Structure 1
Amino acid sequence: MRRTRRSGTAKATRISAAVAGSMALALGATACGGESPGPASGDGELSGQTVTVSAVWTGVEAKNFQKVLDAFSEETGAKTQLVASGDNVSTFVGSKIEGGQAPDVAMVPQVGVVQQFAQKGWLVPLSSKAEMETTRNFAGVWKNYGTVGTKFYGLYFKAANKSTVWYSPDALDQAGVKPPKTYAEMLKTAGTVSDSGTPAFAVGGEDGWTLTDWFENVYLSQAGPGKYDKLASHDMPWTDKSVVEALETLGELFGDKDLLYNGSAGALRTDFPTSVEQVFGPEPKAAMVYEGDFVGGIAKDQFDRTLGEDAKFFPFPAVGKGDAPVVSGGDAAVVLKDGKNQKAGMKLLEYLATPEAAAIWAEAGGFLSPNKELDLESYSDETTQAAAKELVDAGDTVRFDLSDQAPASFGGTKGTGLWKLLQDFLGDSSDPKATAAKIEAAAKKAYSKS
């Protein structure tokens, strides 16, 4: 059965915790592990019922999601109980089902785990109303990622835009350059920035998942969505010419020691939070850092940067003749068959499919929604609005994080599989063809067991 690692938004939870540490807000009983207050208004159709929801979110993210749950309570009369699932959602939910304490709703941050749950018979197909709202409010690709076989199980409520390159405006201004529009321009811009005395890129290569995200953006743009899908499902080998070409393209950056702060060796000793600090911290070391929209939250919350002023992003640029990529991750809400209150759980998902529900967290911050009917003005700043607009405007060309669709042993395990082989490639990018062959060997082994 396919198992995968945590995706973009769940990564952001772990990342924020790693950087913030003791700065995370303490939650009261209503935020996590407790019940929401009774309804202040609404028709009370679910009065007396409690919906238990499990999610990976903690700290500020849990507090903000609770605001969404509280609004649901006001509308329906249902109480809600939010419980933390921890990183391994599959293990948590499985143990709860075995113990007769399954939550009614689970927030699942991987396509593969939604598939796994459905194949085990743990899920209830979503109601016609939830499906109708999803069809109306979301690009079709999001419904596809929540569908297993012919049945719709997973509603993607929270998403990430993982095609954002963050930069210090001062560093680019000092070098006399502007944000690039193409990958070739980005390499040229990086060279000019480095020549000005500031290394162009900080790369958190110690965390292998950052390197998979680099590859996915290059590959999606250069090879196109069709081949991306085939590679994600391993219906095409990693030795395909398109993979080798993408590695060659990525190697133009990874193999140029002058473009990376402390070179590739230094990048391999740098974790993701440190790479953000190297650009936006009190003593900047580099001009740019690539990763998802969650970089902005770290720059703002941990380093007191003002989004849109001293912390900006440009879309990951198009490679060659391809289109600019939009790679995403997300958290899908599912209703569990063994939950004690399926009816109320389904009502919650019908609510989460609406732009009104998304607007609550959007206003609170630290959130992107794939809901195309959500007014962009709901986001608190123009930078977040721009990241959300890019995500929504991509429509059906959005692609979910490829490594999060793979078996965990290949796409999401430290020290092995794709993470390790791309770290090796960062250290020595001289032979893309050999790297592709090693990746294919690892993929064959992992997919044969999935």
Structure 2
Amino acid sequence: MFGHSGSSRSRVALAGALSVGLAFSLTACGGDDKDESGATTDTAASSIDCAQFSQFGDLKGKTVSVYTGIVTPEDTPHKKSYEPFEKCTGATVKYEGDKAFETQVLVRAKAGNPPDVAFVPQPGLLKQLVDTGKAVEAPKEVADNVDKWWGKDWKAYGTVNGKFYAAPLGANVKSFVWYSPKEFAEKGYTVPTTLDELKQLSDKIAATGSKPWCAGIGSGDATGWPVTDWVEDFMLRLSGPDTYDKWVKHELPFNGPESTAAWNAVGDYLKNDKYVNGGLGDVKSVASTTFQDAGLQILEGTCSLHRQASFYAANFTKGTDISKDGDIFAFYLPGKDTTTKPVLGGGEFTLAFADRPEVKAFQYYLSTDTWANVKAKASTGWVSANKGLKVENLSSPIDQLSAQTLQDPAAQFRFDGSDMMPAAVGSNAFWKQATAWITGQDTTATVNNIENAWPKK
């Protein structure tokens, strides 16, 4: 599972106008190279306006170290996207990908041996790193770019104790429902635009004798996390972003009425024998089915709907037509009405531990719309919430849908809740109690158990 770029809590399976003063052009020469995902990587031949980096002085011969959980093969297009920066400045980016990034970056920071730049996949981890006293605030040039190219919600996630530290990097959308466009066309189903319509569609499919939904929450030690995404999505939809924020921060109890309502709404789907588990078994089979396998049932014709993030596209076999008229695609999990657009997702943030000119210049580059478009052309399965990202530069229809969703002016983005909760809750009690809930535990016991797991202040 590839979610927040290599994070153990990030469900690893797995933004145009131009910046002021920046001219952006891609000039491919010769044939396009292919990375391991099959995407074109012509960024080695990219040209950008190098004058933008003059504000940082002479950087020739300097080195910037980058530490991240983004590993092979996803690291290839990242490295390619740095080549224009290296050509312009004469500086070198030293890239280090590590599956143990989340624990090791803290160890290194506390030991006084941090990298120049880290790609941090969770606001909670970002705060921990800032609390070491080793991180440095983002330079003004980066803050100005973030003010221009991202929404205030994204900047807030990179802010700790009122100070801005980290610009957003990549992003993913979790508020998606996978379906078969061909099946919808053949059976006269329409994509729902409200939660009521989603329920009506589920009932309509169930009335045919088919199970409308397929689901799986198996994920090794992380089994249960897909339920947390369902609950978070329904918290956002039923109670709104402000209440969601309070819930995540534990300003509202986990066993309060708002949380309980969200769990019950999810139960209307995942614990409903009439709705699940198409092609896989009864309700309890949801717990024993891996999240990777569950949605494949849509192509088998044994279910019609699977709620899972944008990164789920990686689970379909090569050659599957993933498009709005193809074998499989996704639609936005609707809100209570058509006027609201809550979006649940994740992403990474660029945090620096040094303020040398070359480090500032690299941070600046990654915060531009220029880099977002270079990166978009270099890879598939990657998007950004950068408003300057040209959707047409994304080669994958699902990536384009993700970017359009993130860039929608009505979108109210909220970060994955369990990734922001204390580890005792977010990656422990929440997951485990969700699994027990699927296999028969009632909602009251579930929310009480999670509430009791919150660290006492």
Q: Taking structure 1 as the reference length, what is the TM-score of the superposition?
A: 0.84
- Does residue 118 of structure 2 align to residue 106 of structure 1? yes
Identity percentage of aligned residues: 26
Partner of 1:276: 295
Task: Report if aligned partners of 2:322, 2:398 keep a CA contact under 8 Å in 1.
Answer: no
Verify the 8 A CA contact 2:193 2:334 in the aligned structure 1: yes
Could you list the per-position Cα deviations for residues 319-358 of structure 1 after superposition, in whole angstroms to 9, with x for gaps in the alignment? 3798342011110111014xxx733222111111111101
SS, match of residue 124 in structure 1: coil
Tell whether the 8 Å contact from 2:241 to 2:342 is kept in structure 1 after alignment.
Answer: no
What corresponds to 1:126 in structure 2? Answer: 138
Structure 1 residue 294: deviation in Å? 1.0
Is 1:232 the equivalent of 2:240? no
Tell me, in whole angstroms, the C-alpha distance in 2 between the residues paired with 1:13 and 1:159. 13
Q: 1:124-163 alignment to 2 at 5 Å? A: 124-163=136-175
Match of 1:247 in 2: 263
> How many residues matched?
415
CA distance in 1, matches of 2:412, 2:117: 28
Q: Classify 1:122/1:204 alpha carbon distance in 2 versus 1 (closer, same or farther; 3 Å).
A: farther
Matching of residue 407 in structure 1 with residue 403 in structure 2: no
**Residue in structure 1 matched with residue 450 of structure 2 by the alignment:** 439
Residue 393 (structure 1) aligns with: 408
User: Which is helix-richer, 1 or 2?
Assistant: 1
Contact 2:320–2:327 under 8 Å retained in 1: no
- For residues 428 and 247 of structure 1, what CA distance do their matches in structure 2 show? 13
Offset at 1:115? 0.3
| SS of residue in 2 equivalent to 1:317 | coil
- Residue 74 of structure 1: SS of its match in structure 2? helix
Give the direction of change, closer, same or farther, for the CA distance of 1:192–1:90 in structure 2 (3 Å limit): same
Deviation at 1:203, TM superposition (A): 1.1
Cα drift, residue 438 of structure 1: 2.1
Kept after mapping to 2: 8 A contact 1:42/1:77 = no
Question: In 1, Cα distance between the equivalents of 2:285 and 2:148?
Answer: 47
Q: Which amino acid aligns with 1:448?
A: K
Cα pair 2:193 2:338 within 8 Å, conserved:
no
Is the contact made by 1:141 and 1:395 (CA closer than 8 Å) also made in structure 2?
A: no
What does residue range 279-318 of structure 1 map to in structure 2 within 5 Å? 279-280=298-299, 283-299=300-316, 302=318, 304-308=320-324, 309-318=326-335
Q: Secondary structure at the match of 1:14?
A: coil
For residues 162-211 of structure 1, the C-alpha deviation after alignment (integer angstroms, 9 at most, x for no partner) is: 11111112333444311112223222212322443543222122231111
Which residue of 348, 355, 362 maps to 2:362?
348
Inter-partner Cα distance in structure 2 for 1:302 and 1:269: 25
Task: State the match for 1:373 in structure 2.
Answer: 388
User: Do the aligned partners of residues 221 and 422 (structure 1) sit closer, same or farther apart at CA in structure 2, a change above 3 Å counting?
Assistant: same
- Other structure's SS at 2:372 match: helix
Q: Which residue of 2 aligns with 1:448?
A: 456
Instruction: Give yes or no for contact 1:133–1:353 (8 Å, CA) kept in 2.
Output: yes
CA distance in 1, matches of 2:254, 2:48: 56
Which residue identity is paired with 1:85?
D
- 5+ residue gaps, structure 1, are 1-5, 17-23
What is the CA RMSD across the aligned residues, in angstroms? Answer: 2.8
Alignment of 1:261-272 (within 5 A): 261=277, 262-272=281-291
Q: Unpaired segments of 5 or more residues in structure 2? A: 15-34
CA contact (8 A) 1:194 1:200 kept: yes
* In structure 2, C-alpha distance between the alignment counterparts of 1:198 and 1:345, rounded to whole Å: 56
